[in-house]
Amino acid sequence: MTNRVTVIGSLNVDTILEIPRLPKPGETLAMGDQSFAGGGKGSNQGIAAARAGAETYFVGKIGEDANGKFMVKSMTDSGVNVDQVTVTKEAKTGQAFILLDKNGQNSILIYGGANQVLSVKDVDNASDIIAKSDFLITQFETPIEVAEAGFKIAKKHGVVTILNPAPAREVPTSLLAISDLVTPNETECETLTGVKITDEASMIKGAEKLHEMGAKGVIITVGSKGAFYHTADGHYGFVDAFKVKAVDTTAAGDTFIGALSTQLKKDLSNLPEAIRFANRASSITVQRMGAHPSIPTLAEIEAAETADK
């Protein structure tokens, strides 16, 4: 059965600057190349879900500009329903400027733009779509009150809520209390719980703190190592990442979230299997350049699985 996934989130046009390393203060550094691609944590997650097989809907905001039209096309080309992506005259479409070094690591500057104009009213207008979903995903590149409004609608209708608490920031306990699955990386987990993630014991401690705050399930992603999971009933474990040579880590975490949502059961009973699938999808993303262009299709994920056997 195909999962129905709705994402509330950001839409950004990414400008990717390829550099040998980050410049020092006052230093001028030559770039290797420059390129443009669709991005934004929200839209990356929506496209990842759609390409990996979910029936996917998106709630977001763009400016009245060419970048906005570009983002809508990028989403619809991947099969994402954008009926609830609305246009504002108050701000330009969001943008991100990605400094990508020769080792595939990135540093990112974000202009929130129209993403920050997304409102509770926009979410209320999408309530029918949210109510009919299996999963609702959101992140922190749009206002937190928007995330909370969406999750409240979801909880009224038995929709499973997935909170990707990125970029890292403090989160109201009222939002965590209605988050079924929270998916921080090590830094984000420390911001949420005060627990520094260094080993399995600290991961367990961080997850237990998130359970105390209301989360039923926790996944702590640790980059190229893989992902740790912990459920409120005490089941936990670690799912190793697939070893590949990364050329660009942009959208790897977002691909993980989107792909995960396509496989997950609503009771979270198959977390390890869904994480393995999501790890596989991410391993493909990091081997390619850009955000939207790097996100794999279901056929590509299945082909990678077959090639490994």
Q: Which of the residues are catalytic?
A: 254
CB 262 within 8 A of CB 6: no
104 is in an annotated binding site: no
The neighbour count for residue 4, using CB atoms within 10 Å, is: 17
120 is in an annotated binding site: no
- Locate the DSSP E strands across 40-146: 55-63, 81-88, 94-100, 106-111, 135-138
Instruction: Give CA–CA dist 203/79, Å, rounded.
Output: 36
Phi, psi dihedral angles at 259 (to 5 degrees): -65, -40
225 is in an annotated binding site: yes
DSSP state of 25: T
113 is in an annotated binding site: no
294 is in an annotated binding site: yes
Rounded (10°) angle between helices 271-285 and 252-263: 140
14 is in an annotated binding site: yes
Q: Strands of 81-88's sheet, edge to edge?
A: 81-88, 55-63, 4-8, 135-138, 160-163, 181-182, 217-221, 226-231, 236-240
290 is in an annotated binding site: yes
267 is in an annotated binding site: no
253 is in an annotated binding site: yes
254 is in an annotated binding site: yes
Binding residue ranges for ATP: 185, 221-226, 253-254, 279
Binding residue ranges for substrate: 12-14, 40-44, 141, 254
Binding residue ranges: 12-14, 40-44, 141, 185, 221-226, 248, 250, 253-254, 279, 285, 288, 290, 294
Binding residue ranges for K(+): 248, 250, 285, 288, 290, 294
